[in-house]
């Protein structure tokens, strides 16, 4: 499908959208410059989005708008707002999401998938079900990355300390109950001893130089 020209009414519409959004980038991707000088189509034309309708337009900075063009970054051109929820192994990320999610939100959470596949407790990596859970989770994340989901909001939970570099996201929420609390939770859930090592890894990766006294917020303040 040929795209309409960037002329005629486009200039006026473009200016109206930039002013409406206060010249602030509405995408806020990982490399966001925040000051917007471009206008982005929220739902791409090839996915049936309107070229002219202002409700399908939003102010965008260059890095965010250009990042969307790449195949691997197609998630940026969908209307789905993705929240990445991070925490150490043993933090209750599903509970955090459950308290905030909307009825039609897509939730991609290891424990929820495991339960739906029949697990009745924590899985170790050697459990045959673990691979099935990972396959389902990867398939869901893959469809998010390709911009195929129609949910207006999606949540991805992860206990990987480097999750931001692995998954698509628009915003990050950190769930950090503290090292002692998660170690105790893992004991109570009868998780394998290996989990304590994962907890240590998480904390040392997230906070290489300071103690847990630092508020977690500082990691993500912009
Ligand atoms: Zn931006």
The pLDDT tens digits for 48-87 are 778 888 998 999 998 888 765 555 456 766 678 899 999 9
Return the pLDDT at 133: 94
**81-216: which CATH topology?**
Rossmann fold (3.40.50)
Report the separation in Å between the CA atom of 142 and the middle of ligand 1, taken as the mean of its atom positions: 23
Using the predicted structure, report yes or no on whether residue 185 has a pLDDT greater than 90.
Answer: no
φ and ψ at residue 217, rounded to 5 degrees: -50, -40
Q: What does the block give as tokens for 167?
A: 């998954």
167: pLDDT strictly greater than 80: yes
Q: Ligand 1 centroid vs 68 CA: distance in angstroms?
A: 11
Give phi and psi for 66, each to the nearest 5.
Answer: -70, -35
Number of Cβ atoms within 10 Å of the Cβ of 9: 9
**Residue 215 pLDDT exceeds 50:** no
Q: Is the pTM of this model over 0.95?
A: no
Most trustworthy range by pLDDT among 73-82, 150-159, 163-172, 211-220 = 150-159
Cα 30 to ligand 1 centroid, rounded to whole Å: 8
CB 176 within 8 Å of CB 87: yes
> Is 184 or 123 the better-scoring residue by pLDDT?
184
Q: How far is the CA of 202 from the centre of ligand 1 (A)?
A: 29
For the chain, domain boundaries: 9-71, 81-216
- Structure token digits, residue 179: 């090292």
């Amino acid at each position: 499908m040929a795209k309409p020209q960037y002329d005629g009414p486009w200039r006026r519409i473009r200016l109206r959208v930039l002013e409406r959004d206060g010249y602030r980038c509405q995408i806020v991707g990982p490399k966001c410059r925040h000051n917007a000088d471009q206008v982005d189509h929220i739902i791409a034309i090839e996915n049936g989005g309107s070229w002219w309708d202002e409700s399908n337009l939003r102010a965008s900075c260059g890095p965010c708008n250009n990042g969307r063009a790449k195949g691997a970054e197609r998630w940026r051109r969908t209307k789905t707002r993705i929240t990445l929820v991070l925490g150490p192994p043993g933090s209750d990320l599903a509970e955090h999401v459950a308290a905030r999610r909307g009825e039609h939100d897509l939730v991609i959470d290891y424990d929820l998938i495991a339960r739906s596949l029949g697990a009745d407790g924590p899985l170790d990596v050697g459990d045959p079900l673990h691979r099935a859970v990972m396959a389902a989770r990867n398939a869901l994340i893959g469809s998010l990355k390709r911009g195929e989901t129609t949910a207006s909001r999606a949540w991805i939970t992860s206990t990987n300390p480097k999750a931001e570099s692995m998954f698509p996201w628009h915003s990050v929420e950190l769930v950090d109950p503290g090292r002692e609390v998660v170690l105790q939770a893992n004991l109570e859930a009868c998780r394998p001893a290996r989990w304590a090592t994962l907890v240590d890894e998480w904390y040392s990766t997230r906070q290489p130089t300071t103690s847990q006294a630092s508020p977690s917020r500082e990691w993500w303040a912009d």
